[in-house]
Structure formats: structure tokens, C-alpha cells
């Protein structure tokens, strides 16, 4: 199967990636090859096979719902590109009316 440039653009938009024209060309070809390789899985009948999403056998690991101080909250916020008074700063997303 061949992935069109329009499809590549649609996926890039979903994935929040800005692609150059050259990248679109390249990914259209490379992704088509890779998706083509996946076709071999369709030859196997898996209608009765349970999917494996993980192998631990664990479910719902709970801990007490209690506040634990990380001790590094200021440092974590300080990792953000823009911050002020313990908050992460982002551009305005609503217009003032």
C-alpha cells in the first residue's frame, strides 16, 4: 500500500509534527515500505488469540492515597523554558474580550 502526501500531512498534524516538503516525500515512501512489511501479519489467523498488552500479570497496583512531598517541586518547574512564581508559562490561549 502507498501512503499519499495528503495522508502523511494528516498523520503529521495528528502527531503535532511540522514536516518539510522533503520530509513528506521521504516519509510517504519509507512509511509505505514499512506498512507493506506489516502485511505479513495479516496471513495469520488470530481470531481466537487473546492480545498481550503486557507480561507482568499484574493488575491495579495501588498505594495509599496520601500526599508525599517530592522535595523538588521548585526544581521541576525550573526545568520549564519559561516560568514565574512556581508556575509554568505558556502563551495566551484565550482572547480577552
Partner 1 sequence: MELNKLTLIESFEGLRDKKFSSLEITKDCFKQIKKFDDKVKAYITLNEDGALVKAKEVDKKIKSGESISPLAGIPVIVKDLFCTAGLKTTGASKILENYIPPFDATAVAKLKNEDAVILGKVNCDEFAMGGSTENSGFFPTHNPWDLERVPGGSSGGSAAALSADMGIYALGTDTGGSIREPASFCGTSGIKVSYGRVSRYGVLAMTSSLDTIGTFGKTVEDIAVILKYMAGRDEKDSTTLDVPVDNYSEEIKKDIKGLKVGLPKEYFVDGMDESVRDAVLGAAKKLEEMGAEVIDINLPHTDLAVAAYYIICPCEVSSNMARFDGIKYGFSQRDKNKDLLDIYLDSRANGFGAEVKRRIMIGTYALSAGYYDAYYKKAMQIRTLVRQDFDEAFKDVDVILTPVAPTPAYKLGEKIGDPLKMYLEDVFTIPASLAGICGLVVPAGLANNLPVGIQLLGKRFDEKTVLRAGHQYQLVTDWHKQRPKL
User: Judged by CB, which is closer to partner 1: 63, or 97?
Assistant: 63
The C-alpha cell of 75 is what? 526544581
Q: Which of 22, 37, 67, 85 binds partner 1 (CB under 8 A)?
A: 37
Q: Where are the alpha helices (DSSP H) in 15-88?
A: 21-38, 73-78
Q: Which residues contact 36 (CB under 8 A, 6 or more apart)?
A: 1
Binding site for partner 1 (CB under 8 A): 3, 7-8, 11-12, 14-19, 23, 27, 30-31, 33-35, 37-38, 40-42, 44, 46, 49-56, 58, 61, 63, 70, 72, 75-76, 78-82, 88, 90-91, 93
Amino acid at each position: 500500500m502507498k501512503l499519499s502526501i495528503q495522508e502523511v500531512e494528516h498523520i503529521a498534524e495528528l502527531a503535532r509534527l511540522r514536516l518539510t516538503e522533503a520530509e513528506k516525500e521521504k516519509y510517504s515512501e519509507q512509511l509505505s515500505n514499512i506498512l507493506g512489511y506489516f502485511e505479513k501479519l495479516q496471513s495469520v489467523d488470530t481470531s481466537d488469540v487473546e492480545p498481550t498488552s503486557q507480561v507482568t500479570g499484574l493488575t491495579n497496583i495501588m498505594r495509599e492515597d496520601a500526599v508525599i512531598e517530592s522535595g523538588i517541586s521548585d526544581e521541576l518547574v525550573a526545568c520549564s523554558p519559561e516560568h514565574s512564581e512556581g508556575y509554568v508559562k505558556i502563551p495566551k490561549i484565550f482572547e480577552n474580550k
